[in-house]
Chains A and B, each alone.
Chain A
Amino acid sequence: MMASPNTRPHVDLADVSKWYGREPVRVEALAGVDLQLDAGEFAVVLGPSGSGKTTLLNLMGGLDRPSGGRLRVAGRDLGSLSDAELTRYRREHVGFVFQFFNLVPTLTALENVLLTAGLVEAPRDAERLLDAVGLGERARHFPGQLSGGEQQRVAIARALVKNPSLILADEPTGSLDSEIGARVLELLRRLARDEGRTVVLVTHNEALTRFADRLLRLRDGRVVEDRRRPRAGEGPARR
């Protein structure tokens, strides 16, 4: 399923800023970011350490609140939500993929996926998802018995089982070798395209830009580059 170009942006940041601490030691992590992401878009956020890319991810994931500006995801203003509402937002709309997988070690691959499936009313079929990520045979293995690539695929299945509209991936290939990392990214890109999910991936790694529909480069809390990469059959980049 592809996103329609006429619909409202799925993720909409207007002049969003985030700072920590107070004057005179206030640290500005994000400074007036404007950004719109459509459903089905695969965005890669690049930038050096301290550029604000993880802060951006945290804000979109409802793990933190903006200090200024407006941040809307799927039509809801995240800045105005309470802690419990943010939890509900994460539960219903967001799938996370972490650099170190963050699987529960005492649960098998399938159980890790089922654990998250239990959070929503109409989850996807966990076993089919594990099949889809190529782990049908390894579903009854514990994380300690899986390779890094396999664990990350379990983490992706765990993110997808809730049927989230937004998938946030923080250095998802940071712990993987390049070949396995490429397979994981291909999987994420396919999800974005085929299922119309917005995927935001944060990384240091320039090589990953080849998977992106959209490339965002951050420096000192500002978006310094926002480039659409043409998909097959689409026109040139906007900016």
Chain B
Amino acid sequence: MMLARKLLRDLLRRPGQSVALALVFGLGIAAFTGTRAAYQGLEPATRDLYQRLALPDLVASVTFAPVRVVREVAALPGVAAVQGRVAVDTSSAEHPGVTVRAVGVPAPGQPRVGGVEVVRGRYLSGEPDEALVAEGAAAYHGLEPGDTLRLRDPDGEPVEFRVVGVARQPEHLSMIPPGGFMAMPNSYLVTLLPEASATRLLGRAGGVTELALRLSPGADEAAVTSAMRELLGRYRLVLTSGRDLPSVRNIRSHVDMLGSAALVFPLLFLTAGALGGAILLARVVRQERGLIGLLRASGFGRARISTHYLGYTLVLAAFGAALGLPFAVPLAAAVRDIFTADLGTPAQGALWRPELALQAALGALVAGALAALGPAWSAARLPPAEAMRGERPAVGGAFGALRLAGTKSVALRMVLRNPLRRPLRTLASLAGVTLAAVLALAPALFLAEVDRVEERVQSVRRYDLRVVPRLPQPEEWLRSLARVPGVTRVEGLLEVPVDIDANGETRRTYALGLEAGGELLDLPRPGRGEALLVGGAGAVGERIRLSGPLAAIEATVAGEVDYPLGRPVLLAVEDAQRLLQPPAILGDAMRALLGRALLGLEDPVTAALLVLEEGRTEQVLASLAGRGEVARVDDRRVEQEDLQRVFRLSRAFIGVMEAFALLLGVALIYNAVAVTALERHRELATLRVLGFHAHEVGVLFLLETVAVSLLALLPAVPLALWVSGRAVADFQDFLPAGVPLDGPTLLWVALGAVLAVLLASAPPVRELGRLHLAEVVRERE
């Protein structure tokens, strides 16, 4: 009982260190309980929703196929259910610059695959003018039941719809446009319409543009895929498995990342708390050698002694639990809200999960116990007589090896040797500061790369509008666009989905066919037969095979290209066009005939880039809205807003991480500095008595801490690169170059480390200035 009282008083005598370490434990506990609760709510909610609403196992996109193919596909072995539908990109009179994807669904009645769940309002009754708006976009465009949405038909005429509900469809939770990889709710909106209304917007009846499939349990997906290719190949088929649908992939990446973060960050904090606790306790045991000897001589057993010292870190961990748990629910709510608002994920489950709180507290106690093991064990093993004689001074010590003959300054020698005085403590401090530095550096490097990508996006895109037709268009179309009032320049672009065979692997992406003289995409132009790849996807000089919808070609990798947002392969437009040509075996005449029959043209483009006169955007948008062949118009400014929204979120998230890192760093450094200052206060007081000014002693002391902290950056750099590389592994489309080392960021983090040292060292250094010199110099060490 008395020892317990002593323990509590000892901790209260060191309020700064006790609170700092409890705070580190508390951060770990709050991070685990909060983020894990959010993860446990999001992950099953998303999975349940996919299950409940029958997320397709495969989605087949075609230009236009007759309705009978739905029956044919349904009859394929392994196919459990098929939903044929019309999905058409159009625009809205109320939302200029926004691409609206109208998806046909049965009304009334639910789709067999890709079900619909109404969040607000009601489901479609069968009236042709009713519409549901996807939940992921409704808030961004202020659309609620009762609002009106006017969508353009192929002739550009607005068709009025009444919004009757806000709904979810599993493949359209995140608002990611086809071919995109990040949610763009500002510039992309999904609406669900009665099938007949969607067909009207497409302007072509009797067919479908998408088939959503569910496979039978145990079905061979590869076999089904192969059969689908055979059946639908003539309709420019693009097959995407359910797990690779943009929305599904985006949500999975983020939820997986949250799951990892919910383990990694708490572990990081608990490890840091354990390191700090070990440093503190080792010092306490050293300081109390005499007392330990006395207790042992008085009859206290080893178990009592070790339990007593074990109690220090356990009390700190428990105190940390009390500090951290109140923040768990707000943290869980904040994380959940970000996911539901930004990614469109459903949320369910409790934010407060007692079992997680218990696990976190137990984890903290285990970390605390591990931290105390070494010091408590050494305390218990101290022979009483030796303990009461006090500690023998180090003979040479590890610092003895550092002769530093080349270092003239004696003070500098002191600074360099002191960290070796207590090598284990220095190692523990180094490890702790390294953890904090990783926590600071990894997201900072990520942010630096995000910033670079943002700048690159700005510099690459030199156009104002990107116009996407419903079907590939001839070059004449470009000339017609150039005649639209307000348009000053037009360039064509050909995007073709391809499978790349390189390095023995096949990767699905798209080929970007660039005109030789084009300038509106500021990218290098490959020559005929050449390919430029993004982010080291192939070696220069390597031959790669590109399989397009109708043909396969070979190209030589001519180099890498710094292309932001996506990993296409860049080709000369003529090579990209070859991917759309029927096989040569049919002969030129037959090929030309087939090409025209299938595509209606020989030299198609799939997008046009437009430069506009200043202030004519609205007028041009209105003109384009009246053109039936235009599926959508991407306004660079609106897309930029979406990008900036994503980047803002990243910055906010990273800002929180940086604050945590600084807090962690300060707490750990403060603990180490306070322990060192306590241990060396006689030595430092002696320097003052000998004639050193207080600020000179303070600087010497700070230099040591700065040196150790900067040393901690050495292992932190590769670790941070590894951590950030792992974290963005699922975001290769977004950050194709991964997360490279960035000099200025490293410098900023180093400055942050110095700031942490200054903040953490200020109280102990101030204490040194207040030492009663005459008393301290008379103490026995």
Closest-CB distance, B85 to chain A (whole angstroms): 77
- Contact (Cβ within 8 A) A144 B773: no
Q: Taking the complex as formed, is B418 at the interface, i.e. its CB lies under 8 A from any CB of chain A?
A: yes
- Contact (Cβ within 8 A) B394 A105: yes
- Contact (Cβ within 8 A) A96 B399: no
- Contact (Cβ within 8 A) A106 B399: yes
Given that A115-B411, A143-B393 are known contacts, is A170 also in contact with B778, CB under 8 Å in the complex?
yes
Q: Taking the complex as formed, is B95 at the interface, i.e. its CB lies under 8 A from any CB of chain A?
A: no
User: Across the interface, which residues of A come within 8 angstroms of B394, CB to CB?
Assistant: 105, 144
- Contact (Cβ within 8 A) B413 A107: yes
Q: Taking the complex as formed, is A58 at the interface, i.e. its CB lies under 8 A from any CB of chain B?
A: yes
- Contact (Cβ within 8 A) B395 A90: no
CA distance A142 to B411 in the complex (A): 15
CA distance A96 to B414 in the complex (A): 20
Interface size for B (C-beta < 8 A) is 33
User: Across the interface, which residues of B come within 8 angstroms of A47, CB to CB?
Assistant: none
Cross-chain contact of A106 among B421, B688, B691, B693 (Cβ < 8 A):
B421
Q: Taking the complex as formed, is A81 at the interface, i.e. its CB lies under 8 A from any CB of chain B?
A: no
Cross-chain contact of A98 among B396, B693, B777 (Cβ < 8 A):
B777
Q: Taking the complex as formed, is B109 at the interface, i.e. its CB lies under 8 A from any CB of chain A?
A: no
User: Across the interface, which residues of B come within 8 angstroms of A162, CB to CB?
Assistant: 691
Q: Taking the complex as formed, is B63 at the interface, i.e. its CB lies under 8 A from any CB of chain A?
A: no
Cross-chain contact of A90 among B418, B691, B694 (Cβ < 8 A):
B691
Specify the chain A residue showing the minimal Cβ separation from B418: A106
- Contact (Cβ within 8 A) A84 B691: no
Interface mask (B662-701 → A, CB under 8 Å = 1, otherwise 0):
0000000000000000000011001111111110000000
Interface residues of A in 85-114 (CB under 8 A from B): 87-88, 90-92, 94, 96, 98-100, 102, 104-107, 111, 114
User: Across the interface, which residues of B come within 8 angstroms of A116, CB to CB?
Assistant: 690-691
- Contact (Cβ within 8 A) B396 A142: yes
User: Across the interface, which residues of B come within 8 angstroms of A63, CB to CB?
Assistant: 689, 773-774
Cross-chain contact of B774 among A58, A102, A114, A115 (Cβ < 8 A):
A58
User: Across the interface, which residues of B come within 8 angstroms of A102, CB to CB?
Assistant: 682-683, 686, 777
- Contact (Cβ within 8 A) A104 B683: yes
Q: Taking the complex as formed, is A51 at the interface, i.e. its CB lies under 8 A from any CB of chain B?
A: no
Q: Taking the complex as formed, is A34 at the interface, i.e. its CB lies under 8 A from any CB of chain B?
A: no
Specify the chain A residue showing the minimal Cβ separation from B773: A63
Specify the chain A residue showing the minimal Cβ separation from B397: A144
- Contact (Cβ within 8 A) B682 A87: no
Specify the chain B residue showing the minimal Cβ separation from A115: B410
- Contact (Cβ within 8 A) B396 A96: no
Q: Taking the complex as formed, is B249 at the interface, i.e. its CB lies under 8 A from any CB of chain A?
A: no
Q: What band does the interface of chain A fall in when counting residues whose beta carbon is under 8 Å from B?
A: 35 or more
CA distance A162 to B418 in the complex (A): 25
User: Across the interface, which residues of A come within 8 angstroms of B683, CB to CB?
Assistant: 102, 104-105
CA distance A58 to B778 in the complex (A): 11
CA distance A107 to B404 in the complex (A): 11
Closest-CB distance, B331 to chain A (whole angstroms): 44
Closest-CB distance, B770 to chain A (whole angstroms): 11
- Contact (Cβ within 8 A) A119 B778: no
Interface mask (A39-58 → B, CB under 8 Å = 1, otherwise 0):
00000000000000010001
User: Across the interface, which residues of A come within 8 angstroms of B694, CB to CB?
Assistant: 83, 87
Interface mask (A146-169 → B, CB under 8 Å = 1, otherwise 0):
000000000000100010000000
User: Across the interface, which residues of A come within 8 angstroms of B777, CB to CB?
Assistant: 96, 98, 102
- Contact (Cβ within 8 A) A64 B413: no
Interface residues of B in 724-781 (CB under 8 A from A): 773-774, 777-781
Q: Taking the complex as formed, is A134 at the interface, i.e. its CB lies under 8 A from any CB of chain B?
A: no
Cross-chain contact of B396 among A61, A87, A144 (Cβ < 8 A):
A144
Q: Taking the complex as formed, is B400 at the interface, i.e. its CB lies under 8 A from any CB of chain A?
A: yes
User: Across the interface, which residues of A come within 8 angstroms of B410, CB to CB?
Assistant: 107, 111, 114-115, 118
Cross-chain contact of B414 among A58, A61, A107 (Cβ < 8 A):
A107
- Contact (Cβ within 8 A) A87 B692: yes
User: Across the interface, which residues of A come within 8 angstroms of B420, CB to CB?
Assistant: 106
Given that A106-B421, A116-B690, A144-B396 are known contacts, is A98 also in contact with B414, CB under 8 Å in the complex?
no
Beyond contacts A83-B694, A98-B778, A107-B413: 10 other A-B pairs, Cβ-Cβ < 8 A, are: A87-B688, A87-B694, A94-B691, A106-B413, A106-B421, A107-B414, A118-B410, A118-B411, A142-B395, A144-B393
A-B contact list, 28 entries, CB within 8 Å? A63-B773, A64-B774, A87-B691, A87-B694, A90-B689, A90-B690, A90-B691, A91-B690, A92-B691, A96-B689, A96-B690, A98-B777, A99-B778, A102-B682, A104-B683, A105-B393, A105-B683, A106-B399, A106-B418, A111-B410, A115-B410, A116-B691, A119-B690, A142-B396, A143-B393, A145-B395, A145-B400, A158-B690
Contact surface of B with A, Cβ cutoff 8 Å: 393-397, 399-400, 410-411, 413-414, 417-418, 420-421, 682-683, 686-694, 773-774, 777-781
